[in-house]
Structures are given as structure tokens and as C-alpha cells.
Structure 1
Amino acid sequence: MDLGLKGKVALISGGTKGIGRAIAVGFAKEGANVAFCARNPSEVAETQTLLNSLGVRAMGTTLDIGNAQGVADWVEASASELGGLDIVINNVSALAIPDSEENWKLSLEVDLMGTVRICKASLPHLIARGEGSIVNISSVSGREADFAGGPYGTVKSAIIAYSAHLAFTYADKNIRANTVSPGNTYFPGGVWENIENGNPQLFDMAMALNPTGRMGTPQESANAVIFLSSPAASRISGTNLVVDGALTRGIQF
């Protein structure tokens, strides 16, 4: 299927590791130009080189999503450099799971307000295009109570609600907004590899909950994000797409 992404411009927060990197590479393979950010300069440079090698224009920026002015400047610079915006992906998370006041503040500032600020800065560019797509990355922890249901899960729930608000508010502008909620996702250097090494009891418990007998890969979640972002998903808006291999038990209507 031709997803109709060739020549589009995608903006991705957190594009150098895990799901974010798989999303950035996936867009590039579909022919979309990519602006992305992350905190580690060497990882930004390496990812930009990879994306450019796929024959598209890529713009990598070193950025802390908690920096409100930095976020606004990044969005404007990306749109200027690449000729506008068509797609916005909010992927960055502080992964602040333990229930402490510091983690509540961090989750609100990075996960939630980072998403809100990027959306607000990007919407004028999407509106100028006459159409656009926003996909915000949530989590299965945002739709059911689990061990990560404190600051992390609560903020992920808020992101689902905010995305639904965007979908309704901007439907008449031909702008779609959806959420993708991955389940456990394993990749080298990721949170689950760290848990596997540091808390094997928790890792074994989480693994046992997966009916497939395995955790997901970044590519599996990225595939869902890329499809939802594309013109092929033109009638899908306001949806929370769960990508978890039947991990969650709740019925989603």
C-alpha cells in the first residue's frame, strides 16, 4: 500500500532511541522529510546521518523538551528549514515512574506540557497546509491500573484525553489527532532491558503477563504510528490505538 507520505514533513520529539527512532526511520523509508529532537548530541548527529542516507532531508536538534522556549524555537526552525509541517509525533517521555513529588512534576512538565507545547506551536503550520496529522504516544499504563500508574500512567491518561480534544476541536480544519498506546517494548538500552538487569523479578512478572510470550519491538509500534499519520488513515481521528499483543484486558469501546 502506498501510504502517500513521500515529500511530507514529519516532526518527531525523541527520535534517536526505541520507538521514536523507529518512527523517524520509518517515515524516511516512506520518503518523508524528518525533523527530530533528542537530548544527546552524538545520538542526534548519528541519527541525522542515518536518515540522510535514506535519501530524505533530515534536521536533528539537541533539545530538552522541558525547555518551553526551546520547544517553540525548534518547531519554528524545523518548519522554516523543511518548508512547513504535515505530521507531528509527540514521543518524548521522562519515564518518571516511581511515585514521588519530583516525578509528578517531571511527568507533567515533560510528558504532558511537552506534548501540549509542541502541538500548540505546530498547529498554525498544519492549519496553513489545509490538513495535518498529530499522533501522541501514550501507554497501556494510561488506560489501566498497573505498577506504572502513578505520575507516568496518570499523565499518559491525560495525553489520551488531550488528543481527543484536539481531534474534535480541529476536525473542521482537516487536522486529525490520535494516540498510540504501546505495551511493554523491549530494545537495547531501553527501560525494559534496564529492568531486566536491575529488577529481574519485576521483569519476569511483566513478561508473564504477555499472552504472546514476548514484549513488543519499537518497529511494531512505529508501524502503527506511521499508518495513523498517513493519508491512508484519513477517516481515523480521536482514536487511541493500543499496540500491546493483547496484554491489556479492558474492553475498549
Structure 2
Amino acid sequence: MDLGLKGKKAILIGASHGIGLATAKVLAQEGCDIALCSRSQKSVDEAVKAVSEYGTKVIGGTVDVTDSMGHGKWIADAAEQLGGCDIFIPFTSANTGVDDTEGWMVVLNTDVLPLVNGIKAALPYLQKSDSGSIITVSSTAALEEFMGAFPYNALKAAVLNYSSALAQQLAPQGIRVNCISPGPVFMEGRAWDQVKEGMPEFYEGILSQIPMGRMGTGEEVARAIVFMASPACQFMTGANLVVDGGLTKRVNF
């Protein structure tokens, strides 16, 4: 299937590693020009090098997403360098696992406010696109109880609510907003790899709840994101796509 992404412009926030980097690679494979950022110059340089192998234009930059002005300026500069923005995806996320004021503020200032501010900065460019698309990233932790009452779970649910309302607001402007909620994703050196090494019994307990018998891969989630973001999925907006191997047990209507 031709996803219609050749020549499109995508801005990805916090995409120097994990699912974000996997998404950048799949977008580039489909012919999309990419701007990506992260906090570390070294990780940005490595990501730009990896994504550039697919032959499209790739630019990178270091950004502190808690600095709303600097964050917004980088998005505007990236859109100017790319020649526009058709796809905007914020990946920044933090899970402190601590239920105190500081823990709540860390997740709020990483997962929610940069998403809101980033979309506002990208909006003038998305409005000029003939296929404007925003993908937000939630989690299956927002859908069912998972390990207790923690900021990450609740604020990922806030991302879902915001995305749904924004989809209604922006649809008349031709801009789609969809959300993806991954379940456990195993990537070398990332969170579940660390859990496997440090808490093997807990890891096996989660694994036993997944009917497919394994965790997902970054590329599997990335391909779902890219399809939703692409013109091939032009009539979908306000959706939440769950990619979890059957971990969540609720019925969806």
C-alpha cells in the first residue's frame, strides 16, 4: 500500500530513541522528511545519522521541552527548514512511579504541557498542509488499572481526553488528531529491558497477561503510528489505537 508519505514533512519531539526513533525511521523509509529533537546533542546526532540512511532530509536539534518558548521556537525553525509540517508527533514522556507532588509535576511538565504547547506551535504550519496530522502518545496504563494510582497513568488518560476534544476542534480545518496507546514494548536498553534484569518476577507476571505471549517491538508500534499519521488513513480522527498484544481486557465499542 502506498501511504502517500513521499515528500511529506514530519516534526517529531523527543524522538532520538525508543518508539520515537523507530517512528522516524519508518517515516523516512516511506519518503518523509524529518525534523527530530531531544535533550542530548549526542543522541540527536546518532539519531540523525541513523534516519539519514533512508535518503530523505533529516534535521535535528536539542530542546528542553519544559522551556515553552525555546520548544516553540525550535518547532517553528524546524518547519521553516523542512518547508512545512504535515505531521506532528510529541513523544516526550516520564514515569517517576512516585505519587507525590513532585512526581505529578514531572509527568505534567513532560507528558502533557509540552504536548499542548508543541501542538500550538506546529498548528500554523499544519493548517497550511493538505494532510495535516497530529499523533499523540498515551498508554494502556491510562485504560485500565496498572500498578496503582500514579501520575503517569492519570496524565496519560488526560492525553486521551485532550486528543479527542482537539480532534473535534481541528477537523473542520482539515487536521486530524489521533492517539496511540502502546502496551509493554521491549527494546534493548529501554524500560522493560531494565525491568527484566532488575525485577524478573514482575516482568514475567506482566508477560503472562499478554495473550500473544510476548511484548511488542518499537517497529510494530511505529508502523501503526505511521499508518495513522499518513494520508492513507485520511478519514480517521479522534481515534485511540491500542497496540498491546491483547494485554487490556476491556471491550471496545
Check conservation: 1:141, 1:149, Cα contact below 8 A. Answer: no
- What letter corresponds to residue 251 of structure 1 in structure 2? V
Aligned-residue RMSD, C-alpha: 1.1
Check conservation: 1:142, 1:149, Cα contact below 8 A. Answer: no
The runs of at least 4 consecutive aligned structure 1 residues that moved more than 6 Å come to none
Aligned to 2:120: 120
TM-score (norm 1): 0.97
Quote the Cα distance in structure 2 between the aligned partners of 1:139 and 1:13.
17
Percent identity between the two aligned chains: 38
Aligned to 2:202: 202
Check conservation: 1:97, 1:148, Cα contact below 8 A. Answer: no
Q: CA deviation at 1:100?
A: 2.5
Number of equivalences: 253
Q: CA deviation at 1:130?
A: 4.2
- What letter corresponds to residue 112 of structure 1 in structure 2? V
Aligned to 2:245: 245
- What letter corresponds to residue 77 of structure 2 in structure 1? A
Spell out, residue by residue over 1:198-224, the C-alpha distance to the aligned partner (whole angstroms, 9 max, x if none): 222221211111111110000111011
Answer with 172-181 or 50-59: which moved more: 50-59
Quote the Cα distance in structure 1 between the aligned partners of 2:228 and 2:155.
22
Check conservation: 1:11, 1:36, Cα contact below 8 A. Answer: yes
Aligned: 1:157 with 2:186:
no
Check conservation: 2:72, 2:118, Cα contact below 8 A. Answer: yes
Quote the Cα distance in structure 2 between the aligned partners of 1:5 and 1:68.
29
- What letter corresponds to residue 65 of structure 1 in structure 2? V
The residue correspondences of 1:9-158 to structure 2 (distance < 5 A) are 9-147=9-147, 149-158=149-158
Q: CA deviation at 1:98?
A: 2.6
Structure 1 unmatched ranges of 5 or more? none
Quote the Cα distance in structure 2 between the aligned partners of 1:149 and 1:174.
37
Spell out, residue by residue over 1:223-252, the C-alpha distance to the aligned partner (whole angstroms, 9 max, x if none): 110000001100100000000011100112
Distance 1:149 1:228, change over 3 A: farther
Aligned to 1:171: 171
Check conservation: 2:10, 2:33, Cα contact below 8 A. Answer: yes
Quote the Cα distance in structure 1 between the aligned partners of 2:148 and 2:5.
35
